[in-house]
Structure 1
Amino acid sequence: MEKKYVAMVALILVIAGATIYGILNNESKQILRISTTTSLEDTGLLDAVEAAFEKRYPNIDVQIVSGGTGIALERGKRGDADLVIVHDKKREKEFIEEGYGLKRYPFAYNYFYIVGPENDPAGVKNASTAEDAFRRILEAAEKNPSVKFVSRGDNSGTNSREIKIWKNITDYNATVNGSSWYIETGSGMADTLRIADQKGAYTLTDSGTYLAYRDRIKLVTYLTEDRSLLNVYSAIPLNPSRVKGVNSAAAEKFVDFLMSNECQKLISEYGKDKYGQPLFTALFGRAEPKS
């Protein structure tokens, strides 16, 4: 009877000790909130970076929420993030000028791709620039009801770049937006690619998401490295003097890690084994390329 009693007491002490340790361990952990784009989420890159970062800093719990660039920046403004990672230079600069962000840290880039059906009803394969490709789609869509373009329509960095290209060649609101051939998904890149594939339509996609999903869709690439399609990703820590409750220390650690040789090497090799080529080009401290 005494042995059972001693064993029971020992078990209770072990459980209590483990519980106390768990509570203390959780209390000692910091939370780092990152608001980012769906392209970094869909490709899985940030999951890989998060795992490597948490291995180095086990006392920091990284919590990532994704959405379009517009949504990611709004979360930052509301105080729902300590760090934003996005890809729209114009809006990033505005975000900093308005006092919400401290500084841009460009760390990697890839390109937007213009993709579409293999039969290419708009003749985009002969286009020399992104603007030429969009012009061909516009002209073909006005004559051929089978020609469609699928837009994210979600105020993301990709959507912003797409609209910029349309505006360079036409009055976007008068001739494109609202047209029967122009379909807005209001969704992320992966969903938009799937819908474009189902409809045999053209779309603009970041190369990382396309490469990650190309085995699941029939869309092919038509324009891949036009300078106007350059897609730079940047990290921006939130300004604690403007946004309350920001974990600046953890955000700075993540940025330092993101820019480190260890992480830049991880980024430069990410996707190579699975997709035959890396999904991103790491900057390794170089200046961001100009579009």
Structure 2
Amino acid sequence: MAVRRLIVAFALLCGLAVGIAPSSAEERAIVLATTTATQESGLLDYLLPIVRDKTGIEVTVIARRADQVLDGARRGEADVVLMHARPQEEKFVADGFATKRFDVMYNDFVLIGPKSDPAGVKGKDIATALKAIEAKDAPFVTRGDRSGTHAAELALWIVAGIDIAGAKGAWYRESGQGMTAALDGARTAKAYVLSDRASWIAFKDRGDLDIVVEGDKRLLNQYGVMLVNPERHPNLRNDLGRTFIDWLISPEGQAAIAAYKVDGQQVFFPNADKSGG
């Protein structure tokens, strides 16, 4: 609770800075917990001012790795959760910590590697690519940080039939940090790395790196939004959180998401499921 009070106080100070009356700013503030990849994509910097203009809601963001996002939400530190780790999200709902989960948008993961492609993986089949990387001991950088992207990577090794926990060697290198740091590590080591496309587009210091595998349906990166269950934490801003989610999955919110571009490229593709799931 103390963490949440500090976050809301910060939102209140931001409201004062732009001339919003204290009671008004405090009453219209919510906390959004999300993953570092979402934050690093730049989407929220673009989207949240629009949310404020359309709904009057001031949104303060906590960006963490996926497991920390959910741990904080379980403690009542956020009103709404936006992330891209569907199995964990569905368990969060099943355990009663959220009232419902809604699809909101998607992009995809891409396998990044040196342009010379030393493992010869270029194409559209991610399982074949990972098998080749492991067979040739080609350097691979994993985030290793229990993030949504890390969870997706581990699932893909399973799809490829590889026990990555047992296969670890010098070729499999753990970053333990966010997506930008992992990409930077891959650039330095001339290694392969799995990235969400938004982070890759935003990453400028690419050196010799390029996309080597894309387009496999198993690389879909679905984002979901959830309202934290106010029955667990009566202090939560349930009505405002619901208003935020309703706007996000509305035609207007979905159009705003689709309009966000980096270097002229659309980064996220709206696909709201208004029935929840």
Same fold by TM (over 0.5)? yes
Distance in 2 between the 1:244 and 1:150 partners? Answer: 42
Match of residue 65, structure 2, among 65, 68, 72: 68
Report the CA distance shift for 1:238/1:284 in structure 2 as closer, same or farther (over 3 A). closer
Q: Which amino acid aligns with 1:283?
A: N
Greater Rg, structure 1 or structure 2? 1
Aligned equivalent of 1:48: 46
Aligned equivalent of 1:157: 148
Report the CA distance shift for 1:68/1:287 in structure 2 as closer, same or farther (over 3 A). same
The Cα of 1:243 is off from its aligned counterpart by: 3.0
Aligned equivalent of 2:13: none
Aligned equivalent of 2:55: 57
Equivalence map 1:5-84=2 (5 Å): 25-29=21-25, 30=27, 31-58=29-56, 60-84=57-81
Q: Secondary structure at the match of 1:111?
A: strand
Post-superposition Cα deviations, 1:136-172, rounded to whole Å, max 9, x if no partner, equal: 100111xxxxx31111111111100101111231222
Distance in 2 between the 1:129 and 1:139 partners? Answer: 16
Post-superposition Cα deviations, 1:174-202, rounded to whole Å, max 9, x if no partner, equal: 113xx211111111111211111111110
Match of residue 196, structure 1, among 169, 186, 199: 186
Post-superposition Cα deviations, 1:79-107, rounded to whole Å, max 9, x if no partner, equal: 11111101111111100011101111111
Distance in 2 between the 1:243 and 1:156 partners? Answer: 25
Match of residue 104, structure 2, among 102, 107, 118: 107
Q: Secondary structure at the match of 1:217?
A: coil
Aligned equivalent of 2:129: 133
Q: CA RMSD in A?
A: 1.9
Distance in 2 between the 1:286 and 1:241 partners? Answer: 22
Equivalence map 1:224-239=2 (5 Å): 224-239=214-229
Q: Secondary structure at the match of 2:195?
A: strand
Aligned equivalent of 1:216: 205
| Residues 1:173 and 2:169 are matched in the alignment | no
Distance in 1 between the 2:237 and 2:275 partners? Answer: 27
Q: Which runs of 4+ in 1 moved over 4 A?
A: 284-288
Report the CA distance shift for 1:185/1:39 in structure 2 as closer, same or farther (over 3 A). same
Distance in 1 between the 2:142 and 2:89 partners? Answer: 22
Aligned equivalent of 2:259: 269
Task: Give ranges in structure 1 of 5+ residues lacking alignment.
Answer: 1-18, 142-146
Aligned equivalent of 1:5: none
Aligned residue-pair number: 255
Distance in 1 between the 2:266 and 2:61 partners? Answer: 22
Distance in 1 between the 2:184 and 2:41 partners? Answer: 15
Post-superposition Cα deviations, 1:230-271, rounded to whole Å, max 9, x if no partner, equal: 001110010011234211111101101101222211111211
The Cα of 1:42 is off from its aligned counterpart by: 0.8
Work out the percentage of aligned pairs sharing the same amino acid: 31
TM-score normalized by structure 1?
Answer: 0.83
Distance in 1 between the 2:237 and 2:271 partners? Answer: 26
The Cα of 1:222 is off from its aligned counterpart by: 1.3
Report if the CA contact (8 A) 1:67-1:188 is conserved. Answer: no
Aligned equivalent of 1:8: none
